[in-house]
Amino acid sequence: MQALDALLNRVSVPRLIDPAPTAEQREVLFGAAMRAPDHGHLQPWRFLTVEGAAREQMGELLAEAAKLSDSEVGEAAIDKARSGPLRAPLVVVVIARVQDHVKYPKSEQLLAAGCAAHGILLAAYAQGIGAVWRTGDLAYSAHVAKGLGLAEGEEVIAFLYLGTPQKEPRVAEKVDLAEFVSAWPGKA
């Protein structure tokens, strides 16, 4: 697949089934992530892969976090949290490793980690792998961060669900670029 095809036509694929990406495909996914723009070469990201029975354990962690977040949370919300990681054969947890730096602000580091996540999505699309980026309130839970083993200065920025598309991915809708792009007329 041509790079511009992936950039212009990538879409989220939420319905995923086995098999998960192969070892060779994963090497491409994470290799693409490492090409993210990274001012200062800090590589402010890391990744956890969650698959097999570990997805059920992650689901229990998310269910616990849901209970802790709201004493009145309903069973439906807890069940949804518990079953979330089972929606794909592979979940990649994208973690921003933000550090104090005189020259490179934390906001740039977060953006770089987001670009790394996007690189994974683009590489997945280019290889015919279905992928969708999900977060939600539980992604930002201190309980989830602790359960996943995050260190100080680290935070979850994405749960990337990857697998085989259950059906043909939708076609990317065309966007009117004029709604998003304009020329700056210069200083008034």
Phi, psi of 10 (to 5 degrees): -60, 135
Give the number of residues written for the chain: 188
Q: Domains of the chain by range and CATH?
A: 3-179 (3.40.109.10)
For every one of its 188 residues, what pLDDT tens digit does the chain have, with 9 covering 90 and above? 789 999 999 999 999 999 999 999 999 999 999 999 998 899 999 999 999 999 999 999 999 999 999 878 899 999 999 999 999 999 999 999 999 999 999 999 999 999 999 999 999 999 999 999 999 999 999 999 999 999 999 999 999 999 999 999 999 999 999 999 999 999 98
User: Which one, of 126, 171, 118, lies nearest residue 2 by Cα?
Assistant: 126
Neighbours of 114 (CB within 10 A): 17
- pLDDT of amino acid 39: 83
Structure tokens at 149: 């083993």
